Structure 1
Amino acid sequence: MSAPGPVSSPLWISAFLDLAADEVERGSAFWAQVTGSTLSAVRGERHEFHTLVPPDGDDHLRVQRRDEGPSRVHLDLHVPDQATAAEHAVTLGAEVVRAADEGYVVLRSPGGLEFCFVGHPAETRSRPAVWPTGHRSQVDQLSIDVPARLLEPERGFWRDLTGWPLRRTAYEEFHLLEVPAGQPLQVLLQRLDDDATEVSVHLDLTTDDVGAELERHVALGARVLTRHEHWTVMVDPGGLRYCIAGDPPDDDVPA
């Protein structure tokens, strides 16, 4: 029997699209169309939250109106005991930003990336969307983008926080956390070699037909920023960057 993971090891991962107030309506509609999801009814004390509800399985993408600052992405780690998980995260170098009355805890990583411990239960991964052309696509990865000077402490933090091993990939600037089977999102840590000053997050989609998927996104209002051999960097209508990779989506989910 393997040793249990740390109290902060997530049972589920979800991503929040924190959209600037003047972009939230357009951005929510774009991401619902991109993912084949349905927008939930608005909720929250300030009517600031939506969920992107997939046709099957549990949700792992949500939208929040951000009243100050540009659009961004943050991650939520779903754990049984948010307060205890936050205490452990602090011992690893995190900082608590806010402990909400609702039970969730907002923190910053050693590199300054905001994330949350939440308690919403979820366990069933959704299937990739199938489009009229017959191709499939899915948001399946969070990329934590780390300036080179912050890389070592940030990689160690996420490894120790989740209890998941960290492994190299074929690209020296990328390391993957070995996420357990059944999680809705993979987690990649990417070294940034530009002049970025803080850690950020972007979403990655995977598809079995890059051409058809790019055409679909552009028709919905996105634009191509840069093309690489195995992925394309996109910008959504509100200026949020994300990537499309040419890998067949993982369809190995429970029936």
Structure 2
Amino acid sequence: MATRFVQINMKAHDDSALGRFWAEVLGWGVDSEAPGVTNLEPLGFSYPDPSAVCIDLIARPEPKVGKNRVHLDLATTSAAHQAELVARLKGLGATLADVGQGDVPWTVMADPEGNEFCVLEPRPLYRDTGPIAAVVVDCADPAAMARFWDEAMDWTLHEVTADGARLRSAQGVGPYLEFVRTPDTKSGWNRVHMDVAPYRGDDPAKEEARLRALGASDPGIDQSGIHWRILADPEGNEFCLLSPR
């Protein structure tokens, strides 16, 4: 048994407006499965597929507090493309952001609701990922986080160092999942988090038990009104275990 990384869940004050922003950024299609929910995926995409990690925007009233612990890195193909993308993003409503990055070759920005993301300088590693180069998770121990997610999902571990770790779909397509060592600690629930799903035919209760045995825990959230399960990884980052797909 294993889960697969199917989407990012992003809370939003205005899911429709923020969804339009990210759809323009990524060149993706927009749909809505229910009021207060905006779904983004590539045009012609058959969900789920490892070639992309989709985005669900969920309307919530709580304010954003502090830097998100999960963010997106966008890929570029040249220095000119990076500059053009930054300019286009500003025109769509994004702003430059300072998270203490100093003098770096990538550009840190924030979307219209303040969610941080990076526009990377061109890197050969991300030449075939699509518009999202990586989903990046801040953490205290990248190696431990990589061990957990390597066993939790059917993704392949590509690199582990003292300061970071990287996984990608075993099919070698789509974005990377990266864990980066940061000094700040988690505080409150994550406004952006991962959603994973078992394969069709798998028993979700058994998959939940397997994830708990690997180190997942109960985040202490009322789950009486939902049909999926909310768990937390070994550093307390919430993630959703969806129905088998």
TM-score, normalised to structure 2's length?
0.47
